[in-house]
Structure 1
Amino acid sequence: MKIKTKKIILHGKTKTEYQTVTLEAPTVEIDQQTQILTAMHSKDSAGNIVSDAKFSDKDQNFTSDTIKFNFKTQKGLTKNTITQTGEMFVHGEVVKKVDSAVTYVKRGYFTTCNLDEPHFGFRANKIKVINDKVAVSGPTHPEFEGVPLPVYIPFGFFPLSNNRHSGLLPPQFATNDQMGLGLEGLGYYHVVNDYWDAKLYGNVYSYGSWSANFNPTYQKRYRYRGSLNFGLQRTKRNFKGDPDYYSNNSYTLTWSHSADARARPGTSFSANVNASSTTYNRNVPNNANLNFQNQLSSSITYSKTWVDKPYNLTVSANHNQNNQTGIVNLSLPDVGFSVSTLYPFQRKEFAGSKRWYEQLGIGYNGTFRNQASFYDTAFTLNRFLDTVQWGAQHNIPITLSLPPIMGGAIILSPSISYSQVWLAQQRTLTWNDTEQKVDTAINKGFYLDHQVSFGVSMNTALFGTFRLKKDKSIRHIIRPTIGFSYAPSLSRKYYDTIRVNAAGDSLTYSKLQGGMYGGYGNITSGSITFGLDNNLEMRYKPKNDSTGEYKKLRLIEGFGFNGSYNLLAKTHKLSNISLYLRNNLFDKINLNATANFSPYKRNRLGGDDTLYAWQGPNKSLGRITAGSISLSTSFQSKPKDPAKDKEKKEEMDKQMNDPIFAADRQRLLDYMRQNPAEFVDFNIPWSFSLSFSFYFTEQAKPDYSGFETITSASTNFNGSFSLTPKWNLSANGYYDFRTKKLQTFTMSISREMHCWQLAINVTPVGLFRFFNFTISPKSGLLQDLKINRTRSFYTPY
């Protein structure tokens, strides 16, 4: 303390607090007469700064060489200062704080780079900063690595608000060989109120193509959240008179809505609509995944569960379409009503154990549907109304849970079920002798079909152990099920036999087939159902494990078969056998395989003959009529920073499972697939995933002249590899073995540049082949400050 000058000097790790102000510095001088506090940094013997002076006042933070602050006037002056507001860092040679919200900067530097010597920024001699609102500067020019660029703007306007605000959406320049030069993403964003906002944006090309999208979003915390997008697209390629001239108008409509379950307990409403013209997806440039998306579906659902009552109601509207065939199916409405299982003989007050008859339960579930179908390119109201059909189905199951027998080893479950369907049409087939083909007629009316069935089932589990060594054994678990069911035929009036080809072959068919609900069988069934499920696991003690505990290894997770034998049928008593296998090899390869095994010989149409495969000439055990195999695997290296990787996964799982994010989830996934280079995780040096699927089935030819085998095989692959700690190469694609073509392939190169990112996307295969080159800051505040180059090439097959 200096008594004469009334000054106090502090040395070391000092900390001064006054109201909302906190100051930390290695050296602090306090003048009691002027109420001015001066803080200074410290240097080592080589002249390097060891510790800075740090000043904070509410949301403002300064790191400086020297700080002077007047406690009385709340004004301050700093030198060589760095302050942060939101994502923006402001460097200033001299910074003057005039009040708690306003700061002036002399010879300042704007940047989103968090280094003391930033990679890039905007240099201006005079800057005014208003906390969480805006920063305004005089003439400004950019600098990269300390090198100024000869590009000046008369003033700078930098919004610092963390809240939403309306404004223009800047476009990016693109070149398309078929559409010409274009501006993509040009539009306007408008904040309506605290719950609503909207974007209106689009693309325009020099050859006449354009698209426009209207995208409002809404959210009310603890109530609901959703978004809607309606788009119009006008596609023109080349010019009139050109043999490759193409012109098309199309639209798209998507709507996603999710409600918080806490808003109205027992009642929910959700929507996931994805509808468009069948030509819309194939005409979207620079999106290979969307170009090959031929299946679209929508669902709008309202459901209600009555409190303290066993009733459940679901009302929905559904839509699906195939862009390849142009068929659109609408179901409006679909109504489902169910009554949970009731136990009419159960006592209201229990005393002791339950009696067997108290386990008798009865329930109900019913559905009502309306459906219409039409071709997108040939829609008329009359054609639409002509395809309208309706139907209903009712099921009344009666179950009884008997006490386990043989000490709980065997469980018996008897059941009775009554089902009924209502249909508005039936299909009649007749042989046209003149044209030598089968004609189809649709008869409108009211048709009722029903079925009653009785059954009892039994299941148990058997265990067997085979000891390999003293500390290693294999355990085999067998779960057999067997049951008996009886269902009298009540549907014979809906079956007929007709001639189907010139050779005189006949076919028995159901008149209700192809309706809203299929009819029931025409054969009285007294069937024995059987099934066998197995799994194998190894129990062993690791050699290097000092705990002495045994571990389990699943060798085969499950394999088995299911089938039935109809004691009352005249022919085809034994049903086809369903075979299956599922496994996870080495905890890395997921394997699923299924097959349909027919024990009968094949007839001329590819169906089952009346003779078993082991009867007559050419004896065999049977034949495989359909099957599928799917394999998938993924590998990745260990993360460089495990803590960072764990934090990222927890945050992603939270967002993916949170219903509040449901509305934006699909749009984010689509954007990530379209721009993979912008979402590279440099914390994972390499990753690879591969999936393969194969399917085949035998079916009769459309003209009933024989049968054919339909096969499908494809593989999807996705990989990412860091060539260096800062360069990453990734690729993904889809290969169709049937066409022997690589249907889609996208390759991406990314460069980590600390506060910037470089991304190159190339798609050399597909309907739209394109490449995209982008350099942009990582900060969302400067997301529109980017260099972008896009070129597209339309290559129809």
Structure 2
Amino acid sequence: MQSNKHFLVLLFILLGNLLILRAQEDPIIPLPIKPLQDSITAPLIPANILNDSIAVDSVAADTVRGKKPLLLDKIKYKAKDYVKLSQKDNKIYLYDEAEIYYQDTELKAGVIVMDYVKNEVYAGRLRDSTGTYTQLPFFKQGSNEVRPDSIRFNFDTQKALIWNSRSEQQAGLGKLGSDAMKVYAEMTKKENDSVYFLSEGKLTTSKDTVDPDYYIRIRKAKFVPKQKIIAGYSNLYIVDVPTPIALPFAYFPLSQGREGGLIFPTFGNDPQRGYFIQNGGYYIPIGDIADIALTGDYYTNGSYGFRAATRYRKRYKFNGGINISYENLIRSQKGFDDFSRTSNYNIRIQHTQDPKASPYSRFSASVNLGSSQFFTNSLNQVNRSNTQTNTFASSISYSKTFPAYPSVNTSLTLTHSQNSRTQAISMSLPTFQASMERIFPLAKRDGIKKGILQNINFQYDVNAQNSITTTEEDFFTSKMFEDARVGARHRIPIGTNFKVAKYLSVSLNGNYEDVWTLETINRRFDQDEQTVVTDTIAGFDRFNRYSMGASIGTVLYGTFNRGEDKKIQAIRHTIRPSISYNYSPSFEKFYETYTDGEDNEVQYTPFETSIYGRPSLSRGNSIGFAIQNTLEAKVRDKDSTVLEPRKVQILSNLSFSTNYNFEADSLKLSPVNVSGATQIIKNVPINFSATLDPYAIDNNGRRINTFNIKNGGGLFRLTSARLNTGFRLDSEMFKKGGKKDKEDSKDRDPDYSANPFELKGARDGEFQFDREERETDDEVNNPLYANEIPWDMRITYVATYNNSNRQNEITNHSIMFNGNVKLTPKWEVGVTSGYDIKNKGFADTRFAFKRDLDSFRLSFDWTPFGRFERWYFFIGIKANILSDLKWENRSQPFRSVR
């Protein structure tokens, strides 16, 4: 009773000024009633109602504490149309855009009724002249928001009754992301700040909450905002049609953080392995920086597989992931001729260190190793995209820089390379590298370096590794280390450069290498066995080698001016010729001899097994010639307001190189290598290369020491060539009039449209058809189709030619392409394929059909022919929180490679 009195006085004071204003507009007409004195004395207005703080009882003698008022703050309210106080009903009426604010509670509606005796408030909608309801209530308490048709709320108990409530909750597991879950209920009872009870509710992630394309109907449920919904019998409705997908009870997590949970599997049937479940398991968050997903497959014939995938991330430190997969596949049944068992595995590790973590050290890892046939034999659809993988490569490295002068960069790397076809494996366990920065001993460190002496510089680097070559059969066994080779190479390059005659650039260089090895060989001829025996000798040994060289080059320019009135105003040709000389001595001292069965001396080097090559027995003495060309043009711009011409690259590169060996007995001139690149067609880069041999060949196809021109041929003989290009096409390139013309037309008429059915608002994802007919002249080009269909295509073309032995053969002639066509804003078709023009056959061809069904996603993946012929169909809800509501089906998998 005390609280009701305080509340009543508060409302009288807050409405005092408003009532006075209304009295000035509508004067009160006195009634002919004689006033009588009330026998009940009204209490005085307590001051604490008007203030934020609560006053202390002034009666000190009272030992019983008074009841704490339930209204702890001011109530603020307003309305657009009117605020009416009814003393008879003990209510206040707020009409049209009514609003009430009390502490963290906010209420907005078309009409609000406050009962200041019961401390209750009622909010509802307004109906306009057409009968349409507007100004639906909006109720917010703390961070919880509800949009009902009407609501009844008690300030004392904080309880509420809500009709046709709509609320939105951000929900999702940490692994799956976050989605907006819409909660609708015909009747909602708010028990307290964190518990709601729902009756006849709907759960959906559809954007349209009024008429959703799907929802989960729940009869009764307990709703804890941002935490969970616990419901009784629930079933799925699609377009208001009930489906047999139902549960006797359901639990929907609404937490935004990382929580563990089940990963729903995929069901299916395989003709050879029986019924199966795939990709089912459990998700486990680990702390704040990592998680792990454990999934597996099981087939009724006994085949199984499991996967463990973990991700981790620490801000400004590192991030990465580990994926381990194992499959034990059984085909047919024991006792049958086609029975087989295959065990495959794959390990993938990715680790990246943030550059901010350490400026002078870095650790990174990229691992991909496993069974060569893992992806081609795998029955799991998630491995489908990797069936064309032919090489597995791994690298784990740690690098550190010592910045003090002279700075030194060091790294320790473990590498792995595996060919899935030959099953050959090459590893380096590990490789150590260290390099010192370039030092100029005869120049000041920060000064300008001039002349031959000041430009003298040298470096030092070392490379050491343990190289292993093995096969997949011996992998992870002791046999893989039997052919391991260990060695190191120290290298000191020295060089300088200077100018001669102002335009000639000259450089001198030298290189010294010292190679260490822990294994050498010894060869001898066994008279008894009449064969050459090679013995492996363990122990440290070394050899060195050195070389020197020089080069001179310059740059020549030539410009052909045609005049500013021409479309092509000028052509510029840049030539960079260079001549180089290289010399390396013979290292016969590192060679030994043995006598074979015919008393012939045979030379060999004990360092044949060195991983850094062997010392050269022949002397190197050659001169090289190279010339590089670029050709560009200045073209007048189409726009007359642009004064500066455009630069167009006709030839971005055209290079010729060859060398002449003074020490060779014959065939001293090497073939001429030609390479070039051009982009004379916009956005179409063309690369080409060729080999021109100046010597002729005999009837057996062997090169002879006779120039081809003297043998009745041309100056050079084309022995090989290669051409490749790639470009992209899309619908924008083929629009008539171009972008510029359309922009000019729009400037003349804001409502102009070259296509009366043009799609508008595509950037915002909203498509509206403008079907207004327009009067256009003959200059307006109307497209053939009413709607432009966006499409894109990427094409790669490769051709190689071989004529080393007069075979005159095209060894490779193929074209690869992939593209997408967006038939409608929600329909998309894609294709990836290629055609071997030489062998007249298609490469692995794949069609992908996608359909956006608003809340659902539909896709169909089809490989119509080839080794991996199959199809796969999927339809499911987009939202990650309900991604387990799906249906998928697939064809019989491709035949496994045994």
Query: What is the CA–CA distance in structure 2 between the aligned matches of 1:26 and 1:465, rounded to whole Å?
Result: 80
Q: Which residue of 1 is the match for residue 794 of structure 2? A: 689
Equivalent residues of 1:523, 1:569 under 8 A apart: no
Query: Deviation of residue 744 (structure 1)?
Result: 1.6
Query: Deviation of residue 43 (structure 1)?
Result: 3.8
Query: What is the CA–CA distance in structure 2 between the aligned matches of 1:35 and 1:121, rounded to whole Å?
Result: 37
Q: Structure 1's 63 and 354: CA in aligned 2 closer, same or farther, altered over 3 A? A: farther
2:197 is the alignment partner of 1:104? yes
Equivalent pairs, count: 742
1:485 to 560, 578, 581: 581
Query: Deviation of residue 440 (structure 1)?
Result: 10
Give the partner amino acid of 1:486.
N
Give the partner amino acid of 1:745.
T
Unaligned 5+ segments in structure 2 are 1-82, 171-179, 595-601, 733-758, 766-787
1:452 to 547, 555, 565: 547
2:511 is the alignment partner of 1:417? yes
Equivalent residues of 1:759, 1:774 under 8 A apart: yes
Q: Which residue of 2 is the match for residue 57 of structure 1? A: 141
Q: Structure 1's 712 and 383: CA in aligned 2 closer, same or farther, altered over 3 A? A: farther
Q: Which residue of 1 is the match for residue 184 of structure 2? A: 91
Q: Which residue of 2 is the match for residue 530 of structure 1? A: 625
Query: Deviation of residue 337 (structure 1)?
Result: 0.7
Q: Which residue of 1 is the match for residue 409 of structure 2? A: 312
1:2 to 74, 84, 94: 84
Q: Structure 1's 410 and 403: CA in aligned 2 closer, same or farther, altered over 3 A? A: closer
Query: Deviation of residue 381 (structure 1)?
Result: 5.0
2:436 is the alignment partner of 1:339? yes
Q: Which residue of 1 is the match for residue 656 of structure 2? A: 561
Query: What is the CA–CA distance in structure 2 between the aligned matches of 1:530 and 1:20, rounded to whole Å?
Result: 83
Of 770-779 and 288-297, the range deviating more from structure 2 = 288-297
Equivalent residues of 2:449, 2:455 under 8 A apart: no
Q: Which residue of 1 is the match for residue 496 of structure 2? A: 400
SS in 2 for 1:384: helix
Q: Structure 1's 353 and 276: CA in aligned 2 closer, same or farther, altered over 3 A? A: closer
Query: Deviation of residue 781 (structure 1)?
Result: 0.7
Give the partner amino acid of 1:385.
F
Of 172-181 and 621-630, the range deviating more from structure 2 = 621-630
SS in 2 for 1:621: coil
Alignment of 1:43-442 (within 5 A): 43-71=127-155, 73-86=157-170, 87-115=180-208, 116-285=210-379, 286=381, 287-309=383-405, 310-347=407-444, 350=447, 357-377=453-473, 381=477, 383-402=479-498, 406=502, 410-423=504-517
Query: What is the CA–CA distance in structure 2 between the aligned matches of 1:574 and 1:548, rounded to whole Å?
Result: 50
Q: Which residue of 2 is the match for residue 756 of structure 1? A: 856
Equivalent residues of 2:233, 2:248 under 8 A apart: yes
Q: Structure 1's 273 and 796: CA in aligned 2 closer, same or farther, altered over 3 A? A: closer
2:816 to 694, 711, 716: 716
Query: What is the CA–CA distance in structure 1 between the aligned matches of 2:157 and 2:558, rounded to whole Å?
Result: 85
Q: Which residue of 2 is the match for residue 677 of structure 1? A: none
Of 707-716 and 333-342, the range deviating more from structure 2 = 707-716
Equivalent residues of 1:301, 1:316 under 8 A apart: yes
Q: Which residue of 2 is the match for residue 669 of structure 1? A: none
Post-superposition CA distance 1:342-395 (Å, at most 9, x none): 122232575x88676333321122211211112223569564333111232232
Of 592-601 and 632-641, the range deviating more from structure 2 = 632-641
Post-superposition CA distance 1:93-124 (Å, at most 9, x none): 22333333333322211001020211110112
Of 76-85 and 324-333, the range deviating more from structure 2 = 76-85
Equivalent residues of 2:377, 2:896 under 8 A apart: no
Query: Deviation of residue 741 (structure 1)?
Result: 3.9
Query: Deviation of residue 205 (structure 1)?
Result: 1.7
Of 369-378 and 476-485, the range deviating more from structure 2 = 476-485
Query: What is the CA–CA distance in structure 2 between the aligned matches of 1:744 and 1:686, rounded to whole Å?
Result: 22
Q: Which residue of 2 is the match for residue 589 of structure 1? A: 684
Q: Structure 1's 556 and 2: CA in aligned 2 closer, same or farther, altered over 3 A? A: same
Of 236-245 and 155-164, the range deviating more from structure 2 = 236-245
Query: What is the CA–CA distance in structure 2 between the aligned matches of 1:594 and 1:64, rounded to whole Å?
Result: 72
Query: What is the CA–CA distance in structure 1 between the aligned matches of 2:558 and 2:604, rounded to whole Å?
Result: 45
Q: Which residue of 1 is the match for residue 753 of structure 2? A: none
Of 208-217 and 23-32, the range deviating more from structure 2 = 23-32
Equivalent residues of 1:108, 1:126 under 8 A apart: yes
Equivalent residues of 1:640, 1:684 under 8 A apart: no
Query: Deviation of residue 693 (structure 1)?
Result: 2.8
Q: Which residue of 1 is the match for residue 5 of structure 2? A: none
Query: Deviation of residue 186 (structure 1)?
Result: 2.1
Query: What is the CA–CA distance in structure 1 between the aligned matches of 2:864 and 2:223, rounded to whole Å?
Result: 48
Equivalent residues of 2:231, 2:250 under 8 A apart: yes
* Higher relative contact order (CA closer than 8 Å, sequence separation 6+): 1
Q: Structure 1's 133 and 381: CA in aligned 2 closer, same or farther, altered over 3 A? A: closer
SS in 1 for 2:829: strand
Post-superposition CA distance 1:287-326 (Å, at most 9, x none): 4542332211111111001133410001111111112111
SS in 1 for 2:874: strand
Q: CA RMSD in A?
A: 3.8
Q: Under a length normalisation based on structure 2, what TM-score does the superposition of the two structures give?
A: 0.74
Q: Which residue of 2 is the match for residue 610 of structure 1? A: 705
Q: Which residue of 2 is the match for residue 673 of structure 1? A: none
Q: Which residue of 2 is the match for residue 668 of structure 1? A: none
Alignment of 1:599-638 (within 5 A): 599-602=694-697, 608-615=703-710, 617-637=711-731
Alignment of 1:706-785 (within 5 A): 711-736=811-836, 740-785=840-885
SS in 2 for 1:792: coil
Equivalent residues of 1:771, 1:791 under 8 A apart: yes
Looking at secondary structure, tell me which structure has more strand per residue: 1
Query: Deviation of residue 83 (structure 1)?
Result: 0.6
Q: Which residue of 1 is the match for residue 887 of structure 2? A: 787
Equivalent residues of 1:605, 1:707 under 8 A apart: no
Query: What is the CA–CA distance in structure 1 between the aligned matches of 2:593 and 2:688, rounded to whole Å?
Result: 36
Equivalent residues of 1:466, 1:475 under 8 A apart: yes
1:552 to 630, 635, 647: 647
Equivalent residues of 2:273, 2:303 under 8 A apart: yes
Query: What is the CA–CA distance in structure 2 between the aligned matches of 1:248 and 1:583, rounded to whole Å?
Result: 50
Equivalent residues of 2:628, 2:655 under 8 A apart: yes
Post-superposition CA distance 1:698-731 (Å, at most 9, x none): 899xxxxx99989344443212212333322222
Of 384-393 and 249-258, the range deviating more from structure 2 = 384-393
Q: Structure 1's 567 and 142: CA in aligned 2 closer, same or farther, altered over 3 A? A: same
Query: Deviation of residue 16 (structure 1)?
Result: 4.8
Q: Structure 1's 349 and 266: CA in aligned 2 closer, same or farther, altered over 3 A? A: closer
SS in 1 for 2:893: strand
2:548 is the alignment partner of 1:464? no
Q: Which residue of 1 is the match for residue 29 of structure 2? A: none
Query: Deviation of residue 736 (structure 1)?
Result: 4.7
Query: What is the CA–CA distance in structure 1 between the aligned matches of 2:222 and 2:270, rounded to whole Å?
Result: 43
Q: Structure 1's 425 and 714: CA in aligned 2 closer, same or farther, altered over 3 A? A: farther
Query: Deviation of residue 511 (structure 1)?
Result: 8.5
Equivalent residues of 2:519, 2:609 under 8 A apart: no
Give the partner amino acid of 2:863.
T
Q: Which residue of 2 is the match for residue 20 of structure 1? A: 104
Query: What is the CA–CA distance in structure 1 between the aligned matches of 2:217 and 2:296, rounded to whole Å?
Result: 34
Query: What is the CA–CA distance in structure 2 between the aligned matches of 1:166 and 1:719, rounded to whole Å?
Result: 39
Q: Structure 1's 592 and 708: CA in aligned 2 closer, same or farther, altered over 3 A? A: closer
Equivalent residues of 2:474, 2:480 under 8 A apart: no
Equivalent residues of 2:525, 2:533 under 8 A apart: no
Equivalent residues of 1:313, 1:338 under 8 A apart: yes
